[in-house]
Amino acid sequence: MARFVDNTITFPYRRSLGPVTGAFMTALTERRILGIRRGDDVLVPPMEWDPTTGAELAPDLVEVGPAGTVASWTWVPVPSEQHPLDRPFAFAFVVLDGAATPLLHAVDAGSPEAMRDGMRVAPRWKGTRVGRIDDLACFVPGETPETDGDDAGPAAEPVERMDYLASITYRNPVPASNDRLVEASHEHRLIGLRCPTCGRVYASGNGYCPVDALPLGPEYEIDLPDTGVVTNFSLVTPVQYPGQTETEPFARVFVRLDGTDTMITYSPVVDVPADEVRVGLRVKAVWITDDGEGSGGLFGAWGAFGGWTPTGEPDVDDPDLVNRIF
Ligand SMILES: [Zn+2]
């Protein structure tokens, strides 16, 4: 049974909403839904440009709803963490009273048997609203709007910006060779896998030769030297995104291990300021005792391997070093 690790990447971004979407979001905090006039029609949600012609629309905003009619729907039996409700619900096109176009939103109806085209629904508002589409928690069957809990009132200022966290989680199987690599690190050993076909030696513990598409089991493991030379590096200036613990610029280095053609990539370097990291720097492995999850590496852990520190030997002067990345 394979072991898996979850890796989540989260990107925060802040967008300015502009005069039309900003007014729509501000109105949501007031428990009102706005559309924009296009000739005799009202588009909901409001847009700055006519989606048919691309022409700019005058900012003639008009309140719609609050109730509306379901035009079509689909049932979501198993909601994910990204869904608006934590229980089974319907995604529905709701044509709000006075609107010409449908708003896509959730309907909390309990079961698919309670859903049908043409059913009437009304908003269920969150008690605390910040100017996002999910201030409108969902729609519920009937004509009467509801509010969850105590009403905290509308936003004090017009809503002009929106913070958003884009997030994706990858679920990766951990190769057995990676677990053995971590075990070896506790003995202060770097191990690699030598492909019997092409002779290449891999230090990453992925468990296969990508050139020959060959799985490499424990019988192909070899010990690797724990000294080498920096061939490339990246200096990272940390952006303070959620989860970033670094505050100062730091380096990630590529090291060719002595007497081999094997690279260890994207590894930390310690005891040397980032602006002194250079190609040709002689380094040796650093062993650490704190090897908690997230200490680095493709699968979240390199065990007790903590990166590299200078050996103090003279730099290697070889212009070909920079051509060694993998
Ligand atoms: Zn191979």
Cα–ligand 1 centroid distance for 266 (angstroms): 22
Ligand 1 centroid to residue 208 C-alpha, Å: 8
d(CA 298, CA 176): 14
Distance 213 CA to ligand 1 centre (A): 7
- The mean pLDDT value of the chain amounts to 90
Most confident segment among 52-56, 104-108, 200-204: 104-108
Q: Which range has the worst mean pLDDT, 25-29, 81-85, 100-104, 218-222? A: 81-85
Looking at residue 246, what is its pLDDT?
84
pLDDT > 60? residue 249: yes
Q: What pTM, to 2 d.p., does this model score?
A: 0.61
DSSP state of 58: P
Report DSSP state, residue 225: -
Determine phi and psi for 39, rounding to 5 degrees: 60, -125
Whether the Cβ atoms of residue 55 and residue 92 lie closer than 8 Å to each other = no
Q: Which residue has the higher pLDDT, 12 or 108?
A: 108
Mean pLDDT of 88-114: 97
DSSP 269: B
Distance CA 280, CA 51 (A): 57
- Among 102-106, 177-181, 223-227, which is the least confidently predicted range? 177-181
What does the pLDDT read at residue 317?
A: 94
Which DSSP helix (H) or strand (E) runs through 107?
strand 103-107
Residue 232 near residue 283, CB atoms below 8 Å: no
Looking at residue 1, its pLDDT comes to 61
Q: Residue 296 pLDDT more than 70?
A: no
% of the chain residues with pLDDT over 90: 65
Above 80 in pLDDT, residue 244? no
Q: How far is the CA of 220 from the centre of ligand 1 (A)?
A: 11
CA of 306 to the centre of ligand 1 (A): 28
Higher pLDDT, 293 or 175: 175
User: Among 107-111, 220-224, 225-229, 243-247, where is mean pLDDT lowest?
Assistant: 243-247
- pLDDT of 235 reads 94
Interval 124-159: pLDDT, tens: 999 999 999 999 999 999 999 999 988 898 988 999
Helices (H) and strands (E) counted in the chain, each on its own, are 2, 21
Give me the pLDDT at residue 69, please: 98
Determine the distance separating the centroid of ligand 1 and the alpha carbon of 201, expressed in angstroms.
8
Contact (CB, 8 A) for 29 and 131: yes
